Amino acid sequence: MYLHGTSVINKAGRLEIGGCDAVELADKFGTPLYVFDEELIRRRCREFMEAFRATGMKFEVAYASKAFCVMAMCRIAEEEGLSLDVVSDGELYTALRAGFPPGRIHFHGNNKTPEEIEMALDAKIGCIVVDNFTELYLLSETAKAKGAVMNVLFRVTPGVEAHTHEFISTGQTDTKFGFDIGNGSAFRSVREAMELPNVRILGVHSHIGSQIFEVDGFRLAAERVAEFAQTVRQELGITFPVINLGGGFGIRYVEEDRPLPLAQYVQAITEAIRTLFARYEYPLPEIWIEPGRSIVGDAGTTLYTIGSSKTIPGVRKYVSVDGGMTDNPRPALYDAKYEAMLANRALEPVEETVSIAGKCCETGDMLIWDLELPKTQPGDTLAVSCTGAYNYSMASNYNRLRRPAVVFVKDGAADLVVRRETFEDVAGKDLLPERLRKQPVANS
Ligand SMILES: *Cc1c(COP(=O)(O)O)cnc(C)c1O
């Protein structure tokens, strides 16, 4: 397994993250356990911020909180100077509760409810990324009723397909997200918004996909967006002060993945925007981006305890852990690949090839196929790396499993940032209608 961030193998031959022995963490907090390397999260934030500062351009780096949205993470994003993207009332609530400055919050989503729009207006967040006409008019009416004005970006689909897994491409024309540039609906959205005094047009937003390993898609999107901005300026007389090129910067899940240094994505994007807008003699806009996965992905490691195993002679050996698709649905959803190691015997030689199964009642509940490990035993601690993004945030209670705890480790200290769920968390919201309650047995 590739060791990310502060991860090392310590003198005891065990995995250590943020100066904390992984086996001790598993003992203390129980498994499954999400462990986050705080230093690495901060390093990733700084890589983006410093790359932008070096350009001298105006910018905002908004952490796409859907990748991992808990109060402690919102605080780190704030401390590192990032803005924050939310896509639901629950994420907005989490950010506000963590004290995140509302003016630096951006609200996304293709079906914001009337309640969510009210909540965003009441909180006076920085901007709403408008996705469709229904929302544009709902926002306008709601803002008018409240005597408020809201900044907006228009989410446009530039018709760029990023080279990535089909399920996570969103820049192409046939998608539920955004206004299409090609068919004129993006242009119409701006023209109609100009008539709405309670929305203030900031600019356009494009997000072309996820886990992208090359800069070409971003360059192409920048071209389409710049061309669109120029058309709008010429025909409607509006100059956008902001261009947002979204997130999707790839990370290294497995050995074969070859992501670019984060600064390289920033350089490509800023250079493209600078050149394109100069060509149109267009005032240089602020550039915003929205990394999610690349901020938290490789900072997360999930610890499991190994339990049962099953050997099918001539076929394979299944080794089961005490979590699975409930804490990491990505292998089942996207066929995502992960690396792992035995945290308690990290230096022992490889002795067997096993496939790691979760404990849920689904044949598809597999975490890793054909993983090379030392001879495994029940009680071993398995560490799966790169689980920081879209694991906790996509976790479920399938089979009524309790969602794991989350700890942040740094300089030898481990802090619980989400406690493990209890049975009360799992069943305590259930209600029994009177007619289904067990009647006391009558004495005869
Ligand atoms: C999901 C999403 C992001 C973040 O994507 P990552 O792949 O996690 O960087 C950014 N912007 C929008 C609009 C998104 O939907």
State if residue 248 touches ligand 1 by the CB under 6 angstroms criterion. yes
Q: Is the CB of 155 under 6 A from ligand 1?
A: no
Q: How far is the CA of 97 from the centre of ligand 1 (A)?
A: 22
Q: Which residues of the chain have pLDDT under 70?
A: 163-172, 444
What's the CA-to-centroid distance between 287 and ligand 1, angstroms?
16
> Is 210's C-beta closer than 6 angstroms to any atom of ligand 1?
yes
Ligand 1 atom with least separation from CA of 389: 8
What pLDDT is recorded for position 174? 82
pLDDT value of position 439: 83
For ligand 1, atom 15, which residue shows the shortest CA distance?
207
Q: Which amino acids are annotated catalytic?
A: 361
Rounded to the nearest angstrom, the distance between the alpha carbon of 91 and the centre of ligand 1 is 14
Q: Choose which residue among 210, 265, 289, 387 to substitute to test ligand 1 binding: the one with the highest number of ligand atoms within 8 A of its C-beta.
A: 210
User: Measured from the CA of 290, which atom of ligand 1 is nearest?
Assistant: 10
Q: Which of 290, 295, 298 to mutate to test the pocket of ligand 1 (most atoms within 8 A of CB)?
A: 290
Pocket of ligand 1 contains residue 292 by CB under 6 Å: yes
- Architecture, CATH, for domain 38-296: Alpha-Beta Barrel (3.20)
pTM for the whole structure: 0.96
Is the distance from the beta carbon of residue 187 to the nearest atom of ligand 1 less than 6 Å?
A: no
Question: What is the predicted pLDDT for the residue at 164?
Answer: 59
Predicted local confidence at residue 166, as pLDDT: 52
Tell me, using a 6 A CB cutoff, whether residue 66 lines ligand 1.
Answer: yes
What spacing in Å lies between the alpha carbon of 155 and ligand 1's midpoint? Answer: 12
What's the pLDDT at 171? 60
* CB of 294 shorter than 6 A to ligand 1: yes
The domain made up of 8-37+298-422 is a member of CATH 3.40.980.10? no
Residue 292 C-alpha to ligand 1 middle, in angstroms?
6
The answer to whether the CB of 205 is under 6 A from ligand 1 is no
CA of 198 to the centre of ligand 1 (A): 27
State the pLDDT at residue 133.
98
Helix H, strand E, coil C: the string for the chain is: CCCCCCCEECCCCCEEECCEEHHHHHHHHCCCEEEEEHHHHHHHHHHHHHHHHCCCCCEEEEEEHHHCCCHHHHHHHHHCCCEEEECCHHHHHHHHHCCCCHHHEEECCCCCCHHHHHHHHHHCCCEEEECCHHHHHHHHHHHHHHCCCEEEEEEEECCCCCCCCHHHECCCCCCCCCEECCCCHHHHHHHHHCCCCCEEEEEEECCCECCECCCHHHHHHHHHHHHHHHHHHHHHCCCCCEEECCCCECCCCCCCCCCCCHHHHHHHHHHHHHHHHHHCCCCCCEEEECCCHHHHHHHEEEEEEEEEEEEECCCEEEEEECCCCCCCCHHHHHCCCCCEEECCCCCCCCCEEEEEECCCCCCCCEEEEEEEECCCCCCCEEEEECCCCCCHHHCCCHHHCCCCEEEEEECCEEEEEECCCCHHHHHCCCCCCHHHCCCCCCCC
Domain boundaries, the chain: 8-37+298-422, 38-296
